[in-house]
Each structure stands twice: as C-alpha cells, then as structure tokens.
Amino acid sequence: MNAPRIGVLALQGDTREHLAALREAGAEASTVRRRGELESVDALVIPGGESTAMSHLLREFELLEPLRARLADGMPAYGSCAGMILMASEILDAGAPGRAALALGAIDMTVRRNAFGRQVDSFEGELEFGGITGPMHAVFIRAPWVERVGPQVEVLARADGHVVAVRQGRTLATAFHPEMTGDRRVHRLFVDIVTGRA
C-alpha cells in the first residue's frame, strides 16, 4: 500500500515537528497553506499554536470553508492542542468577538481553551492512552481539556481526571503535543486511521 499523503496545516504553530513525526510514522507528509494543497492530501493534521490566530489565518488564506467541507466529507484529521480546540463543535472561552477561535465541528465535543492555565502552568506527565500499550509521556502547553463528548466520541486519555484525548471515527484529537517527545505512537495511530488499519 502506498504511504498516505498527510498534510500539516502550516499557517501558524509547530508544523516542522509534526512533519517529522508523520514521516517517521510512515506517511508522505507536506505542508498545507493553500486550497490546492488541501485538496491534494488524504488527511490533515492541525497542529498546536494559538487557536484564535489560526482561525484568523484560515479566513485570510481562504481555507476555512474548504477545510470545513473536506471535514464534513469525512477527511481524516488529527488536531493537537490548538488543533483540538479548532476541531471541536463548541469552544468555551473562545476569545474576543471577531478574533474568537472557530469551531470546525469535526468532533462532537465541547473544549475549554487554556483550561490547565497559562504558559507558566505548562506541565508534563505520564498517561494511559486507549489502544496504545504502555504509558505515554505527554507535554501540555497552555492546554485545553474536553468538558463534554457526544455519544459517538471515544475517550482515549485523561489527565487529572480531565479528558485530554478523543477519537470520533476517522478524527483524532489530543490536548497535548506528542510531536515534541520522540514517541511516534499517536502519529502511527493516525496513519493507521487514515489507511483503515485502525
């Protein structure tokens, strides 16, 4: 089977780390900044960064509606941190009106921005991740958490009792940054989701 073509939304955030992780996990990875690039990939990673800035840039680059359409059509997607926020159906503390983070509605969940606190409250820890054997070291930076999940959403991990990783069909989201640790198991899981092996 050919390697899946997975794009990384490269408007703002930690693009390079996700590209490297996806390649190590067996994907053909490329950046996505334009509509044609979005249309050429099999799946998309929405990286960490700043969710309101990413929302603004999605509008500026005229990617918002094409991205919503691809997600509605079932394109596999994985969002980490800010990406998790954008993939939600509802965002709490979305930001100032006109500059608020936009809910793409890819996963039926309510996410609270910066739920674990500000930059100085960032932390690391070990957690159990459903479907992955052994503990996972997780890096949380101004991380969100999930306050509500819909009936089709599978909770994969919790930290301090809060939901921090979910899956709904071919979409995946984590509140933490697996691309920063050298552990490629989450990216391998996503590649398997894209190829239909998971």
User: What is the SS3 assignment for 20?
Assistant: helix
Q: Is 132 annotated as a binding residue?
A: no
Q: CB–CB of 58/32 below 8 Å?
A: no
Q: Among 18, 56, 81, 187, which one carries the catalytic annotation?
A: 81
Which position among 18, 56, 179, 187 bears the catalytic label? 179
Q: How far is CA 156 from CA 121, 132, 134, 168, 186, in A?
A: 23, 9, 13, 10, 11
Q: Which residue has the tokens 């909770």?
A: 155
Q: In the annotation, is 65 catalytic?
A: no
**Maximum distance among all alpha carbons in the chain?**
46
Distances (CA, A) of 23 to 27, 55, 64: 5, 26, 26
Catalytic residue from among 17, 18, 56, 177: 177
- The answer on whether 83 is annotated among ligand-binding residues is no
Known binding residue 184? Answer is: no
Q: Please indicate whether residue 56 is annotated as part of the active site.
A: no
Q: Is 113 annotated as a binding residue?
A: yes
Residue 142 among known ligand-binding residues: yes
Residue 49 in marked binding region: yes
Task: Report the candidate in 140, 38, 122, 48 with the shortest Cα–Cα distance to residue 86.
Answer: 48
| The two three-digit tokens of residue 46, written as one number | 């929405």
177 is catalytic: yes
CA distance 32 to 165: 24
Q: Which residues are catalytic?
A: 81, 177, 179
Write out the binding residues for L-glutamine.
Answer: 49-51, 113, 141-142
Write out the binding residues.
Answer: 49-51, 113, 141-142
